[in-house]
């Protein structure tokens, strides 16, 4: 087999091999193979969740099986099937959004193979084959454990099918079909945009679409764990179900399981029709696009300039130093003008919004009615500020154009202090400060005089978080190479769990400060002192710090990283 693969087997096969080998290469990662390491770690972290829910699921269905009627058991099965379908569809959708730039041949692909004697249809056929191969592998990996484990845990005397194998087939068919529907629907969306929009507009719309889709899939993935009996009972109503694709595949699962409800059969037909329709659209847009796609890619590389002199005048007032202005413009363009970077930032925003929405639901049951509004503002600021700062730190670690960082290397001595100050101003003026100021009118209306104390408290809280997160920062944003698999995923997941556990405690303390003047003064001054201390320490280190432009694995022995 190895000898056969080493030989050449025609243009279509070689193009397929080329696309498969380069499918996980991305401009965000500067070391080949590191994306695979990160994906394997993320998959292992995702799959490691299921042993923790094994015991509770088994006990829950044993309890429902012991009840004298089947209603509770079958409602619980519907809710859990819907949870699994939504979770797996969102996971596949997230992976598709992350690889949004690889669903059709890219400009880099044309530059790599444009000199070869191959036809456009061969390029498109090979790209479609590579996309389907990778998608099938992802669908199998994500669906294998849930579809095998859940039916084995959820059996009982009230199950429609007593055979574990048949329940596995029913759930597997529904989740796999739902995963493929999500994948094909997103590919079809990009193909339709490609054929309807002009090249320059397509580049802008596609970039924003990637970020919005990644954020939406993250929100669905997180909120899927909140699906319960009331929601499952509500969404199967025909007026809602027709607009909710995951509910269609719930109907497919229930029908294959033997559920006699006629509404389930109707939704099963919707699921099959939706999947077939998505596949047909994908094949259609691939067939239509292959003749003009290369031209579209070439024409879409240039963008039109806009006159924004009034913004420049405001910018001159806020940031008078020319070096800081240049650095801040570089940061803004690197973050918003680059589709993959924008997608990363919107992904963090989506995850933070999902956590925020999940917490908002239960706040009314934890605090008194007179404190609900203040609790929601505090919780919203804590969650959004935290995930914004974490997201920006991650985003700044990813290079925009690594080969161009020589311009920063040769001028580092003259501009390092201004660049670091510009990063601080950028995060606060256009990031954290915006999050604090935008809801201020609503706070004044709902909270009265506390609309002054709450933003003040959130400002010093954000300052402490920022200074702590960037205390060990040794790079200029977007200029250093990036290794996504450098930190083990188990360590990342432990930090995430610790953060999610600590945020409610922080939220409770900050909320109590708004109703206790002495506590407010103590916490405010303590945070202010810590923030100033961190800030001074960072400023003192900037003069001696040696900035990094090449990311490498952690050394066995850490040095002081001082300039020689």
Residue 285 CB partners (closer than 8 Å, separation 6+): 188, 191, 192, 194, 195
Beta carbons of 501 and 357 less than 8 angstroms apart: no
Q: Is 386 a domain residue?
A: yes
Residue 47 pLDDT more than 60?
no
Per the listing, tokens 């099937």 go with 81
Residue 522 pLDDT more than 90?
yes
Q: Are 294 and 348 within one domain?
A: no
The band of 274, judged by pLDDT with boundaries at 50, 70 and 90, is very high
Distance, in Å, from the CA atom of 176 to the CA atom of 35, rounded to the nearest integer, reads 24
pTM of the model: 0.79
Q: Are 337 and 260 within one domain?
A: no
Q: What is the pLDDT of residues 335-382, one digit of tens each?
A: 777 777 888 888 888 888 888 887 877 787 788 778 888 888 999 999
Q: Is 388 a domain residue?
A: yes
pLDDT at position 253 is 94
Residue 55 pLDDT more than 60?
yes
Beta carbons of 563 and 493 less than 8 angstroms apart: no
Of 428, 434, 429, 455, nearest to 524 (Cα)?
455
Q: Are 110 and 162 within one domain?
A: yes
Beta carbons of 534 and 540 less than 8 angstroms apart: no
pLDDT at position 5 is 46
Q: Is 549 a domain residue?
A: no
Helices (H), 197-321: 199-223, 229-235, 238-241, 245-257, 262-289, 293-299, 309-318
Beta carbons of 103 and 135 less than 8 angstroms apart: no
Q: Is 44 a domain residue?
A: no
**Into how many domains does the chain fold?**
2
Counting residues of the chain whose pLDDT is more than 90, the rounded percentage is 17
Q: Is 27 a domain residue?
A: no
Q: Which domain holds residue 262?
A: 9-22+53-299
For 564, the 3-state DSSP assignment is coil
Q: What is the pLDDT of residues 182-199, one digit of tens each?
A: 999 998 998 888 788 776
The band of 480, judged by pLDDT with boundaries at 50, 70 and 90, is confident
Q: Are 399 and 272 within one domain?
A: no
Q: Is 314 a domain residue?
A: no
Burial class (CB in 10 A: 0-12, 13-18, 19+), 441: exposed
Q: Are 339 and 281 within one domain?
A: no
Residue 391 CB partners (closer than 8 Å, separation 6+): 344, 345, 347, 348, 349, 352
Q: What are phi and psi of 478, to 5 degrees?
A: 70, 15
Last residue of some domain: 268, 299, 330? 299
> Within 10 A of 526 (CB to CB), how many other CB atoms are there?
12
Q: Is 441 a domain residue?
A: yes
Q: Are 295 and 328 within one domain?
A: no
Q: Are 329 and 228 within one domain?
A: no
b vs e for 1-25, b when ≥16 Cβ sit within 10 Å of the residue's Cβ?
A: eeeeeeeeeebbebbbebbeebbbe
Counting residues of the chain whose pLDDT is more than 70, the rounded percentage is 79
pLDDT at position 291 is 59
The band of 304, judged by pLDDT with boundaries at 50, 70 and 90, is very low
User: Euclidean distance between the first and final Cα of the chain, in Å?
Assistant: 53
pLDDT at position 175 is 95
Q: What is the pLDDT of residues 527-553, one digit of tens each?
A: 999 989 988 888 877 766 677 887 766
Residue 302 pLDDT more than 50?
no
Q: Are 376 and 293 within one domain?
A: no
Residue 332 pLDDT more than 90?
no
Q: Is 419 a domain residue?
A: yes
pLDDT at position 36 is 53
The shares of helix, strand and coil residues in the chain, as percent rounded to the nearest 5, are 75, 0, 25
Q: Are 338 and 407 within one domain?
A: yes
Mean pLDDT of 54-72: 83
Q: Are 259 and 364 within one domain?
A: no
Mean pLDDT of 46-68: 75
Q: What is the pLDDT of residues 95-110, one digit of tens each?
A: 898 888 777 776 666 6
- For the chain, give the mean pLDDT: 80
Q: Are 248 and 339 within one domain?
A: no
Residue 121 pLDDT more than 70?
no
Helices (H), 300-398: 309-318, 322-336, 339-363, 372-396
Concatenated DSSP letters of 171-210: HHHHHHHHHHHHHHHHHHHHHHHHHHS-HHHHHHHHHHHH
Tokens standing for residue 353 = 């919004």
For 545, the 3-state DSSP assignment is strand
pLDDT at position 502 is 87
Q: Are 262 and 362 within one domain?
A: no
């Amino acid at each position: 087999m190895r000898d056969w693969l080493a030989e050449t087997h025609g243009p279509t096969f070689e193009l397929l091999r080329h696309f498969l080998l380069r499918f996980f290469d991305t401009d965000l990662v500067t070391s080949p193979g590191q994306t695979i390491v990160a994906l394997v770690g993320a998959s292992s972290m995702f799959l490691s969740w299921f042993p923790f829910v094994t015991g509770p699921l088994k006990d829950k269905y044993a309890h429902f099986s012991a009840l004298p009627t089947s209603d509770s058991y079958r409602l619980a099965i519907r809710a859990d099937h819907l949870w699994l379908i939504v979770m797996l569809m969102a996971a596949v959708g997230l992976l598709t959004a992350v690889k949004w730039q690889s669903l059709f041949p890219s400009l880099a692909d044309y530059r790599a193979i444009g000199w070869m004697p191959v036809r456009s249809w061969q390029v498109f056929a090979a790209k479609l084959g590579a996309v389907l191969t990778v998608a099938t592998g992802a669908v199998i990996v994500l669906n294998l454990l849930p579809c095998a484990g859940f039916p084995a845990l959820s059996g009982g005397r009230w199950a429609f099918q007593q055979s574990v194998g048949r329940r596995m087939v029913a759930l597997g068919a529904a989740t796999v079909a739902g995963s493929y529907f999500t994948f094909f629907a997103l590919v079809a969306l990009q193909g339709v945009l490609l054929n309807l929009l002009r090249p320059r507009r397509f580049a802008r719309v596609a970039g924003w679409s990637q970020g919005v889709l990644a954020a939406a899939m993250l929100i669905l993935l997180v909120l899927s764990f909140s699906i319960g009996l009331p929601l499952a009972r509500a969404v199967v109503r025909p007026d809602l179900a027709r607009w909710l694709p995951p509910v269609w595949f719930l109907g497919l699962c229930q029908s294959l399981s033997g559920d006699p409800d006629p509404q389930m059969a109707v939704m099963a037909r919707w699921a099959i029709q939706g999947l077939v329709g998505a596949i047909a659209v994908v094949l259609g847009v691939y067939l239509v696009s292959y003749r003009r796609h290369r031209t579209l890619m070439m024409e879409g590389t240039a963008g039109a300039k806009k006159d924004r002199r009034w913004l420049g005048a405001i910018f001159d007032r806020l940031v008078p130093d020319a070096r800081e202005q240049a650095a801040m413009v570089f940061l803004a363009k690197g973050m918003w003008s680059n589709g993959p970077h924008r997608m990363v930032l919107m992904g963090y925003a989506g995850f933070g919004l999902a956590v925020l929405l999940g917490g908002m639901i239960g706040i009314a049951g934890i605090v008194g009615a007179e404190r609900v509004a203040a609790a929601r503002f505090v919780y919203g600021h804590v969650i959004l500020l935290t995930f914004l700062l974490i997201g920006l730190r991650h985003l700044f670690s990813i290079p925009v154009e690594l080969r161009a960082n020589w311009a920063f290397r040769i001028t580092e001595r003259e501009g390092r202090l201004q660049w670091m100050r510009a990063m601080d101003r950028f995060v606060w003026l256009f990031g954290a400060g915006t999050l604090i100021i935008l809801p201020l009118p609503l706070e004044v209306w709902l909270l009265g005089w506390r609309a002054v104390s709450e933003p003040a408290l959130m400002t010093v809280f954000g300052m402490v978080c920022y200074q702590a997160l960037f205390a060990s920062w040794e790079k200029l944003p977007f200029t250093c190479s990036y290794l996504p698999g450098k930190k083990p995923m188990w360590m990342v997941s432990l930090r995430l769990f610790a953060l999610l556990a600590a945020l409610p405690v922080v939220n409770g303390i900050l909320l109590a400060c708004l109703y206790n003047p002495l506590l407010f003064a103590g916490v405010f001054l303590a945070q202010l002192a810590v923030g100033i201390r961190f800030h001074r320490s960072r400023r003192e280190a900037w003069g001696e710090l040696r900035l990094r432009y090449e990311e490498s694995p952690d050394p066995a022995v850490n040095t002081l990283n001082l300039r020689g």
